[in-house]
Amino acid sequence: MKKLGVSVYPSSSNVKRDKAYLDLAHKLGFTRIFTSLLEIKGDKDEVVNKFRNIIEYGNSLGMETILDINPGLFEQLGVSYSDLRFFKQIGAWGIRLDLGFTGAEEAKMTRNSHNLIVEVNMSSGTRYIDNVMSFQPNTDKLYASHNFYPQKYSGISQNHFEQTTEMFNKYNLQTAAFVTSQHGEIGPWPVQKGLCTLEQHRNLSIHTQVTHFRLMNMIDDLIIGNAYATEIELQRMSKAYLSTLPSLEVEFAKNITNTEATIVLEEEHQYRGDRSVYMVRSSSPRVKYKKVDIPPHNTGAIKRGDIVICNTHSGQYKGELQIALQDMDNDGDRNVVGKLKKESIFLLDFLKPWTEFVFTYNG
């Protein structure tokens, strides 16, 4: 089951605002909370109580909190990997190991008597998970998530993401990755230029980030790494990930007709299986709009990412919607009705034949 999550950082934030943020996220279908307790500065009890307060509030909403920790914190808290009751006592649903042990400890922790999830780090690129699995963990309690990267240019590449994720997916573990809010300013570290897993996502809208993950279909859960995302971002993330079909954002050309707008926005489209190197073809509108006049207009040259509808001059193709995969000449039989948002054109590389999709327009 795919889940959405938000992050809160009690050491750096206001409890009242954290609770209001969780209320909003919960209302929009978010069910996970990520928070980070990598070190304790100052009074231990005061710090722990801050985390307990917000974790218990999340629990009251039915949201599940994973607490990011590292091996050094075990010693600081006086906790043993063979006894995780401390984390149960503060209400956590599970713990994430920012840095791992030897593999044997992780496996033992998944067999804890407190029903806690143990989430391991996916981003290192080593055979770490193979080692953990060799010690026969309880895979029902073993999750995995990628890192996020606060410094610009430090996020992982598409190729590294695919390689490392595949190492974990072969074991059918529940997985997660991070997207970033373009408005969030709070994270676990002083340097915070966005908190995303993939570097290419750092400056993209949350809709584009989420749609990319959805089209890749390699990750289960998505979490916003920084706080606080705006209500609009939360709404768009929820809709982009939890709706029945993936959506591509469109920017309309001037003077398009009502019929053309209806074909784009109100029809469900499917990428034909007999694919062309030049375009994504959605042919079903040809049937519905067979008898509707679609006069030629906006018949200039076609660029990659343009959305076109075949006009009356195109014969049996009239009404077909196409998305250009590369630049093309226009013989006057295609109306350019819009284009994908510039930042999302790369998503065409992840759209697979027979995929069903819709368009969305945000003005």
Give the three-state DSSP class for 61: coil
- HSE toward the beta carbon, residue 9, CA cutoff 13 A: 19
The whole-number pLDDT of residue 255 equals 92
For residue 228, is the peptide bond before it cis, meaning its omega torsion is within 30 degrees of 0?
Answer: yes
d(CA 183, CA 102): 38
d(CA 49, CA 7): 18
The whole-number pLDDT of residue 82 equals 86
Q: For residues 161 and 198, is the Cβ–Cβ distance under 8 A?
A: yes
d(CA 25, CA 235): 9
Q: For residues 228 and 339, is the Cβ–Cβ distance under 8 A?
A: no
| Residues facing 118 on adjacent strands | 95, 142
- CA 156 vs CA 38, 83, 185, 186: distances in Å: 21, 34, 21, 21
The domains found in the chain, sorted by start residue, are 4-243 (3.20.20.70), 249-360 (2.40.100.10)
In which residue are the tokens 């489209």 written?
A: 269
Q: For residues 169 and 129, is the Cβ–Cβ distance under 8 A?
A: no
Return averaged pLDDT per consecutive 10 residues of the chain, 363 residues in all.
95 93 98 89 84 97 95 83 92 92 93 96 94 98 98 98 98 98 93 95 98 98 98 98 97 96 98 97 96 97 98 97 98 98 98 98 85
Give the end-to-end CA distance of the chain in Å, rounded to a whole number: 32
Give the three-state DSSP class for 23: helix
Q: What are phi and psi of 336, to 5 degrees?
A: -80, 105
pTM of the model: 0.96
Give the pairing type, strands 356-360 and 269-270.
Answer: antiparallel
